[in-house]
Amino acid sequence: MARCAAFIFLLSFGVVSHLSHGIEVQVKNEDKLCLYANLTVSFSVTYEVAVNKKKTVSFGLPTSALSNESKCDKTSSVLKLSFADGHSWSVTFSLKDKSYQADAITFVYNLNDSNVFPDSSSKDTVTVKAKPDIKDVGVNMCYLCKSKDTIIASPQANMTLSDVLIQAFVINGTKSKNQTVCPADKPAPTTPTPTTVAPTTNATTVAPTTNATTVAPTTNATTVAPTTNTTTVAPATNATTAAPPTTPTPTLPTPTVGNYSIKHDANSTACLLANFGLRIGFTQNKKYQEVNFDPATEVSGSCGVDNSELTLVSNNITVSLSFYNDTKKFRLHALNVTINTSSGVFAQSSTNLSLWEAAVGSSYMCNKEQNFTITDLLSIYTFSLHVQPFGVKKGLYSTAEECLTDEESYLVPIAVGVALLVLILIVLLAYFIGRKRNMASGYQSF
């Protein structure tokens, strides 16, 4: 009764270094196959190894993972794979009427496992969850997805699935041969060639009518010249071209500026300051959208010698910013954006940025709107931006280095002022030269 679910999670701030091998799982109920899965899973986890220092490890789901906690019945199924020392990965499915959906995906990892997380300063077991966009799956279908799709489970933990074939509800103990292919595996639709209809021309021409009468000659011959009556109706052209309808693009208001700060502890002053309004442009399912980021309701982060981080959560959007200090200048070097939409989870990140650069000990400011392309699918717009991730003293911003856009904004009034000053000098110079010539010629006015 079912279909297979594929979830693929983008790796942020780390790359999988150990290839994961596919694992095949057959879950039985009363000796009959009730759930089938064949898939490849990889993980990437960022964790703390010391104060303000982090490390990223990558590992794959081993083929030796145990599925003994997986189960299924008539209305629900659970695929759970346990491995190593306290780690597990699971997906839950529910069946309703003639379709089913994947409800949640859960990844549990144990930071106390020194083989996987060497030098970890935490001994906690962490659980992260994500809601995949797998719904309205037909009964007795197997879902196939070889491509990679992306979801970030949390700013610290990411998962990557590929080559997925799952049937969560198997009928009569036999895996279905029918397959539903995920949209990512389907070829892109072709754009139809526009058809141009030639204008219709209605032209009517009345052939000339010639009436000629000739009287046979008599002794006195009389010849009547032929009379020609010709009527031509000018062609009438009826052509109507309808202008294509235009759909106005809705304009978003300027985003509200949020004020954020991070402290080392409750008793210290701020070590990271940030003020900005943010708009996010993203492409999901080949559709471009823009959304304003409301001031965050959850603010977290850390301040370090070389790296500082700021994570903001507002409604269904999570934005993580990482700043790097090379002892002379700081810059925004990594950005991670996750948005929960009605079409699923959108997640994109980049770890190779060089934005908002300023000298260490100063702040970066840009009052004008700025647009930055982060990836092919993600761009951001900032408004009234002011940040200082390092060297904050007494919880206050240091002298700001302004962006080029702001500097250029002063050029116009400066240029106008200089032009007026030059014009005044020319007028005065011309006046004194003319006066001197008049005095030299002996001319005097009364």
The pLDDT of residue 226 is: 47
The pLDDT of residue 198 is: 52
DSSP designation for 220:
S
The pLDDT of residue 91 is: 93
Collect the ranges in the chain with pLDDT lower than 50.
1-19, 201, 203-248, 406-408, 446
The pLDDT of residue 361 is: 92
The pLDDT of residue 419 is: 84
d(CA 121, CA 190): 53
- In sequence order, the 6+-apart residues with CB closer than 8 A to the CB of 300 are 262, 310, 311
All domains in the chain, ordered by first residue: 23-184 (2.40.160.110), 258-409 (2.40.160.110)
- The DSSP result for 285-329, as a single string, is TTEEEEEEEPPPSEEEEEE-SSEEEEEEEETTEEEEEEEEE-SSE
pLDDT tens digits for 111-164? Answer: 999 999 999 999 999 998 887 777 778 888 888 888 876 667 787 888 888 888
d(CA 92, CA 81): 12
Return the structure tokens found at 19. Answer: 């290839």
Report pTM: 0.46
Pairing assessment for the beta strands 363-366 and 400-402 based on DSSP bridges: parallel
The pLDDT of residue 444 is: 52
The pLDDT of residue 410 is: 54
